[in-house]
Amino acid sequence: MRKNIVAGNWKMNKTLQEGVALAKELNEALAADKPNCDVVICTPFIHLASVTPIVDSAVIGVGAENCADKVSGAYTGEVSAEMVASTGAQYVILGHSERRSYYGETVEILEEKVKLALANNLTPIFCIGEVLEERQAEKQNEVVAAQLASVFTLSAEDFSKIILAYEPVWAIGTGLTATPEQAQDIHAYIRSLIAEKYGNEVADNCSILYGGSCKPSNAKELFAKPDVDGGLIGGAALKVADFKGIIDAFK
């Protein structure tokens, strides 16, 4: 059966010292009270090598928030999937809407990034989701179907290694959350597309996370939906009490 996962996305927050302190605090909280789901924290690149050795890898996975679409070489300022993996990190968020909209990441670029992540044994947390105008025009299904093109060229074996995150852009950092019914509808649709492409077994085993203003007060209702397998958490991942409150939605 597919895994339930709560993953944090720190975005561009926390100095190295603050990030290390946050990871330590989370590690202690989850050592004292074991989670009933997989837990992942995705941090800025510079935190990875410091954070991986201080968390219990049996309880907390560590990931990056991005990686390059090139293997190596003269790409000033970029960080490759191989470099991410060399820190001990096991995950990488790819296709976050902030990367798509502010840094021009296309379906093709993301296809390269996903392949490089997998080639370096990183688990991609691949994000899809529509903007407000697309939701208002009821185009959300078309939008996510088009975004899935980046991962629908994978073999069934490789596709089975990825995690998906549905994040409606209008809900990210806005305090607006998709209703559990809205999340369930589109998650079920996404799973039906996977089933069409790769068959029922692959679709049933794929974890699809919800992201967008997820917090302790709404996580339980969202995660109770049959096709919502956890969350990708931004703002609420920056405070241990909030993040743990979301993790505890699986208790």
Catalytic residues: 96, 167
The answer to whether 213 contacts ligand PGA (rule: CB under 6 A) is yes
Judged by CB under 6 A, the residue of 113, 144, 234, 240 near ligand PGA is: 234
DSSP string for 36-90: SSEEEEEE-HHHHHHHGGGS-TTTEEEEES---SSSSSS-TT---HHHHHHTT--
Cβ closest to ligand PGA, residue 44 vs residue 203: 44
Handedness of CA 108, 227, 176, 12 (dihedral sign): negative
CB 212 within 8 A of CB 178: yes
Which one of 36, 173, 204, 224 is in contact with ligand PGA (CB under 6 A)?
173
Q: Which of 122, 232, 246, 247 binds ligand PGA (CB under 6 A)?
A: 232
| Interactions with ligand PGA, residue window 150-169 (CB under 6 A) | 167
Judged by beta carbon, residue 125 or residue 203, the one nearer ligand PGA is 125
Distance CA 157, CA 250 (A): 28
Q: Is 218 in the site for ligand PGA (CB under 6 A)?
A: no
- Chosen residue from 208, 214, 228, 246 binding ligand PGA by CB under 6 A: 214
Tell me the torsion sign for CA atoms 28, 53, 59, 224.
Answer: positive
- Cα dihedral sign for 183, 129, 189, 211? negative
Q: Which of 172, 186, 190, 203 binds ligand PGA (CB under 6 A)?
A: 172
Q: Do residues 150 and 141 lie in contact, with contact meaning Cβ atoms separated by under 8 Å?
A: no
Q: Which residue is nearest to ligand PGA (CB)?
A: 234
> Cα 220 to chain center, whole Å?
18
Q: Which one of residues 211, 227, 242, 250 is an interface residue with ligand PGA (CB under 6 A)?
A: 211
Alpha-carbon distance 124 to 179, whole Å? 26
The reply on whether position 182 binds ligand PGA by CB under 6 A is no
Write down the residue that tokens 């607006």 correspond to: 176
In this chain, which stretch among 134-142, 147-155, 197-205, 228-236 interacts with ligand PGA, using CB under 6 A?
228-236
Tell me how many residues contact ligand PGA (CB under 6 A): 13
Q: Please tell me whether residue 233 binds ligand PGA under the rule CB under 6 A.
A: yes
Quick one: 164 or 203, whose CB is closer to ligand PGA? 164
